[in-house]
Amino acid sequence: MNPAFAIAGAYLLGSIPTSSLAGRIAGVDLRQHGSRNLGATNVWRVLGPRYAIPVGLIDVAKGAAAVALGSLGDAGAFMPLMAGAAAILGHVFPVFLKFKGGKGVATAAGVLLGVAPAAVGVTALAWLICLVATGYVSAASLTAAVVLPLTAWLLYPDRPYLTISGVAVGAFVFYTHRSNIRRLMDGTESRFGRHGKVA
């Protein structure tokens, strides 16, 4: 497949507004409730697991599908990662929502699941441990952003581009969570499970 078409297709995959569509089905504008973020965590906070679990799984699938798209034809070793990066950008800056989307964690997990599954497994465990210990999804995501490149470096020493990709994804996660970091420092961040459902 032509690289430009693969990247454009991956971006459009990432841009599918999963959370926004779930909110529309429920009759709720998620940008006006909870954290006002279009991500699976806010879907859980506002609409509960019935909506959040499918949204999260689809967001992961968007990343994995982008990697598969980038692997078609005579793609080089970096093409799946480039397509995955395009999907993450699509999720965070979706063309269908005036470039204001989610924070990219689930889609990034799907991308890395397609290229470095062992590293994702360890990182997911670190995410879960941090979530259980602190109650903060944002803190768990930031922890995962640190653990991921270290795990990739240890588990895939012969594939340094995965470590570099892990660093890039981790840095991007910190960027998209900058408001959460401020709230964590101020002690005003919401804990997981404390949500107010809308009527």
The predicted-structure confidence for 125-151, as pLDDT tens digits, reads as follows 999 999 999 999 999 999 999 999 999
Q: What is the mean pLDDT of residues 166-170?
A: 91
Is 194 part of a structural domain of the chain? no
The count of domains in the chain is: 1
Q: What percent of the chain has pLDDT over 70?
A: 94
In which domain, by residue range, is 79 found?
A: 3-186
pLDDT of residue 39: 85
pLDDT of residue 182: 93
Is 112 part of a structural domain of the chain? yes
Query: For residue 103, what pLDDT band results from cuts at 50, 70 and 90?
Result: confident
CB-based contacts of 131, cutoff 8 Å, min separation 6? 137, 139, 140, 192
Is 199 part of a structural domain of the chain? no
198: number of Cβ within 10 Å: 15
Which letter does DSSP use for residue 190 in this model? Answer: P
Lowest model confidence (mean pLDDT) among 7-16, 29-38, 50-59 = 29-38
Q: Contact at 8 Å (CB) between 138 and 177? A: yes
The rounded distance, in Å, linking the Cα atoms of 4 and 12 is 12
Which string of b and e fits 29-64 if b means at least 16 CB within 10 Å? ebbebbbebbbbbbbbbbbeeebbeebbebbbbbbb
Whether residue 90 is predicted with pLDDT greater than 70 in this model: the reply is yes
Is 196 part of a structural domain of the chain? no
Is 191 part of a structural domain of the chain? no
CA angle 13, 11, 178 (to 5 degrees): 105
pLDDT of residue 197: 47
Q: What is the mean pLDDT of the chain?
A: 89
Q: What is the mean pLDDT of residues 39-57?
A: 91
Its pTM stands at: 0.81
Is 58 part of a structural domain of the chain? yes
CB-based contacts of 20, cutoff 8 Å, min separation 6? 30, 38, 97
Is 18 part of a structural domain of the chain? yes
In this structure, which amino acid lies at residue 70? G
Whether residue 112 is predicted with pLDDT greater than 70 in this model: the reply is yes
Is 139 part of a structural domain of the chain? yes
